[in-house]
Chains A and B, each alone.
Chain A
Amino acid sequence: DTGVSQDPRHKITKRGQNVTFRCDPISEHNRLYWYRQTLGQGPEFLTYFQNEAQLEKSRLLSDRFSAERPKGSFSTLEIQRTEQGDSAMYLCASRLTGSYEQYFGPGTRLTVT
C-alpha cells in the first residue's frame, strides 16, 4: 500500500452515462497525476496538478473529461457521456515537489457496456 487511495475500485456503467472517480494522494504530496491504462499497454498520461492548479492536459483528455483538485488535496476525474472506448484502468499517482518518485494508487477499473 503506497498511501495513494482511489475510489471506487471498479465501476460498470452504460454508454452515455457520466462517471466520477476520486483520488486521495499521499499527504503532503503536492503533485498529482492521472494516467489511463488499457489492456496490454503501459499507463498513458492524462493530466497533472500542482496543488490546486491543473498544469497540463494530454491530447488524450477529450472535452468529455474534466479533472479538479479544488483544495490541493484530493482530486476527481469526471467522464461525461461515456463511450466504450473509455473502458480502461484509471490510475492516480502523487509526487512531492523536489523528488522524482511517483507513487501510484490501486486504480479504478472502468467498464462501459
Chain B
Amino acid sequence: QQQVKQSPQSLIVQKGGISIINCAYENTAFDYFPWYQQFPGKGPALLIAIRPDVSEKKEGRFTISFNKSAKQFSLHIMDSQPGDSATYFCAASTKGYSTLTFGKGTMLLVSP
C-alpha cells in the first residue's frame, strides 16, 4: 500500500517558470511533511518541510502548500533555474513513528 502518492512522474519547465509537484497521503497520523531534492549519484537533501498546523511555508524560491482536509501538499518552485533540475521526493512521518515514507519522485528538468 503506497501511503504517499506523488505526481507528476516527470516535469519539464522553462527557465523562469513555476514548477509544481503534488503529493497526497492516506495516513491521517502523519504530522511532518518534508521535501527532498536529489541529484544523480547523491543522497537526498532536505529542502523544506511543513507541519500541519500551517497551510503554507516559504523559503526563498521554494514554497510548500498544505491542505489538511484534502490530505494533500505541494511544492512550488518559483523562477525555476536549470540548477533546479533534479528528482524531488515528498515524504511524511509521524512524531511517534519517525521513519519517513516517501513518494516515488518527480524528475524535474528546467530548460534554459
Shortest CB distance A20–B (Å): 19
Q: Is the CB of B99 within 8 A of A33?
A: yes
Q: Is the CB of B43 within 8 A of A107?
A: yes
Q: Is the CB of B100 within 8 A of A102?
A: yes
Interface window among A11-19, A38-46, A63-71, A72-80: A38-46
Residues of B within 8 A of A6 (CB): 43
Shortest CB distance B33–A (Å): 10
Q: Is the CB of B104 within 8 A of A104?
A: no
Interface window among B11-19, B44-52, B65-73: B44-52
Interface centre among B43, B51, B95 (most CB of A within 10 A): B43
Residues of B within 8 A of A48 (CB): 98-99
Q: Is the CB of A102 within 8 A of B46?
A: yes
Q: Is the CB of A43 within 8 A of B34?
A: no
Q: Is the CB of B49 within 8 A of A101?
A: yes
Q: Is the CB of B100 within 8 A of A43?
A: yes
B102 within 8 A of A: yes
Residues of A within 8 A of B103 (CB): 42
Of B6, B44, B51, which one neighbours A43 at CB under 8 angstroms? B44
Interface centre among A33, A101, A104, A106 (most CB of B within 10 A): A104
How far is B89's CA from A109's CA once the two chains are assembled, in angstroms?
Answer: 19
> Which residue of B is nearest A41, CB measured?
B104
Q: Is the CB of B45 within 8 A of A104?
A: yes
Shortest CB distance B46–A (Å): 6
Residues of B within 8 A of A44 (CB): 102
Interface centre among B6, B34, B89, B98 (most CB of A within 10 A): B98
Residues of B within 8 A of A43 (CB): 44, 89, 100, 102
Residues of A within 8 A of B43 (CB): 2, 4, 6, 91, 104-107
B93 within 8 A of A: yes
Binding site for A on B (CB under 8 A): 6, 32, 34, 36, 41-46, 49, 51, 89, 91, 93, 95, 98-105
